[in-house]
Amino acid sequence: MAQVGLNHFLVISSILFCFGIFGIITRKNAVMVLMGIELILNSANINFIAFARYGSFGFQGQLIALFVIVLAAAEAAVALAIVLNIYKTFSNVNVDEIDNLKE
Protein backbone atom coordinates (compact mmCIF):
# COMPACT_ATOMS: atom_id res chain seq x y z
CA MET A 1 0.00 0.00 0.00
CA ALA A 2 1.23 3.45 -0.86
CA GLN A 3 2.46 5.64 1.94
CA VAL A 4 0.33 8.70 2.67
CA GLY A 5 2.56 11.67 1.95
CA LEU A 6 2.48 15.42 1.60
CA ASN A 7 1.06 15.26 -1.91
CA HIS A 8 -2.08 13.47 -0.76
CA PHE A 9 -2.83 16.23 1.68
CA LEU A 10 -2.12 18.91 -0.90
CA VAL A 11 -4.46 17.25 -3.38
CA ILE A 12 -7.20 17.07 -0.74
CA SER A 13 -6.74 20.71 0.20
CA SER A 14 -6.78 21.85 -3.43
CA ILE A 15 -9.97 19.89 -4.03
CA LEU A 16 -11.54 21.46 -0.92
CA PHE A 17 -10.46 24.91 -2.10
CA CYS A 18 -12.01 24.37 -5.52
CA PHE A 19 -15.23 23.04 -3.94
CA GLY A 20 -15.32 26.14 -1.77
CA ILE A 21 -14.93 28.51 -4.73
CA PHE A 22 -17.46 26.45 -6.70
CA GLY A 23 -19.96 26.64 -3.84
CA ILE A 24 -19.52 30.39 -3.46
CA ILE A 25 -20.11 30.96 -7.17
CA THR A 26 -23.04 28.61 -7.71
CA ARG A 27 -25.02 28.66 -4.46
CA LYS A 28 -27.74 31.22 -4.01
CA ASN A 29 -28.44 30.73 -0.34
CA ALA A 30 -26.26 33.02 1.79
CA VAL A 31 -25.71 30.27 4.38
CA MET A 32 -24.38 27.94 1.68
CA VAL A 33 -22.03 30.69 0.48
CA LEU A 34 -20.73 31.00 4.03
CA MET A 35 -20.14 27.25 4.06
CA GLY A 36 -18.06 27.69 0.91
CA ILE A 37 -15.93 30.23 2.79
CA GLU A 38 -15.47 27.72 5.61
CA LEU A 39 -14.27 25.13 3.08
CA ILE A 40 -11.64 27.58 1.79
CA LEU A 41 -10.43 28.30 5.32
CA ASN A 42 -10.23 24.59 6.13
CA SER A 43 -8.33 23.83 2.95
CA ALA A 44 -5.74 26.40 4.02
CA ASN A 45 -5.67 24.75 7.45
CA ILE A 46 -4.93 21.35 5.93
CA ASN A 47 -2.10 22.96 3.97
CA PHE A 48 -0.61 24.53 7.09
CA ILE A 49 -0.70 21.33 9.10
CA ALA A 50 0.57 19.14 6.28
CA PHE A 51 3.45 21.49 5.55
CA ALA A 52 4.35 21.72 9.23
CA ARG A 53 4.28 17.93 9.58
CA TYR A 54 6.11 16.91 6.39
CA GLY A 55 8.34 19.94 5.95
CA SER A 56 9.65 19.65 9.54
CA PHE A 57 9.19 23.40 10.02
CA GLY A 58 8.40 23.02 13.72
CA PHE A 59 5.01 23.65 15.25
CA GLN A 60 4.34 27.04 13.72
CA GLY A 61 2.01 25.70 11.06
CA GLN A 62 -0.13 23.88 13.60
CA LEU A 63 -0.29 27.01 15.76
CA ILE A 64 -1.47 28.99 12.75
CA ALA A 65 -4.19 26.39 12.15
CA LEU A 66 -5.45 26.95 15.72
CA PHE A 67 -5.58 30.71 15.09
CA VAL A 68 -7.49 30.17 11.87
CA ILE A 69 -10.04 27.86 13.52
CA VAL A 70 -10.79 30.55 16.13
CA LEU A 71 -11.04 33.27 13.49
CA ALA A 72 -13.27 31.12 11.29
CA ALA A 73 -15.63 30.67 14.23
CA ALA A 74 -15.67 34.41 14.90
CA GLU A 75 -16.29 35.19 11.28
CA ALA A 76 -19.07 32.61 11.06
CA ALA A 77 -20.73 34.14 14.14
CA VAL A 78 -20.67 37.65 12.69
CA ALA A 79 -21.74 36.47 9.24
CA LEU A 80 -24.65 34.40 10.59
CA ALA A 81 -25.84 37.36 12.68
CA ILE A 82 -25.84 39.48 9.53
CA VAL A 83 -27.68 36.76 7.59
CA LEU A 84 -30.27 36.56 10.38
CA ASN A 85 -30.74 40.32 10.11
CA ILE A 86 -31.15 39.98 6.33
CA TYR A 87 -33.80 37.31 6.90
CA LYS A 88 -35.70 39.68 9.19
CA THR A 89 -35.74 42.51 6.64
CA PHE A 90 -36.01 40.62 3.33
CA SER A 91 -37.64 37.38 4.63
CA ASN A 92 -35.29 35.32 2.46
CA VAL A 93 -31.53 34.83 2.31
CA ASN A 94 -31.00 34.41 -1.44
CA VAL A 95 -27.99 36.46 -2.42
CA ASP A 96 -29.27 37.16 -5.92
CA GLU A 97 -32.60 38.52 -4.73
CA ILE A 98 -30.97 41.04 -2.40
CA ASP A 99 -30.20 43.64 -5.03
CA ASN A 100 -31.72 46.94 -3.98
CA LEU A 101 -28.37 48.64 -4.30
CA LYS A 102 -27.79 48.73 -8.03
CA GLU A 103 -27.67 51.56 -10.48
CA distance 49 to 54: 9
Q: Tell the smallest beta-carbon distance from residue 10 to other proteins (Å).
A: 8
- Residues in contact with other proteins by the rule CB under 8 A: 13, 17, 20, 24, 30, 33-34, 36-37, 40-41, 43-45, 47-48, 50-51, 55, 57, 60-61, 64, 67-68, 71, 74-75, 78-79, 81-83, 85-86, 88-90, 95, 98-103
Q: Tell the smallest beta-carbon distance from residue 12 to other proteins (Å).
A: 13
Which among 55, 51, 47, 48 is positioned nearest to 12, based on CA atoms? 47
Q: Whose Cβ is closer to other proteins: residue 3's or residue 89's?
A: 89
90 contacts 97 by C-beta, under 8 angstroms: yes
Which among 13, 62, 77 is positioned nearest to 39, based on CA atoms? 13
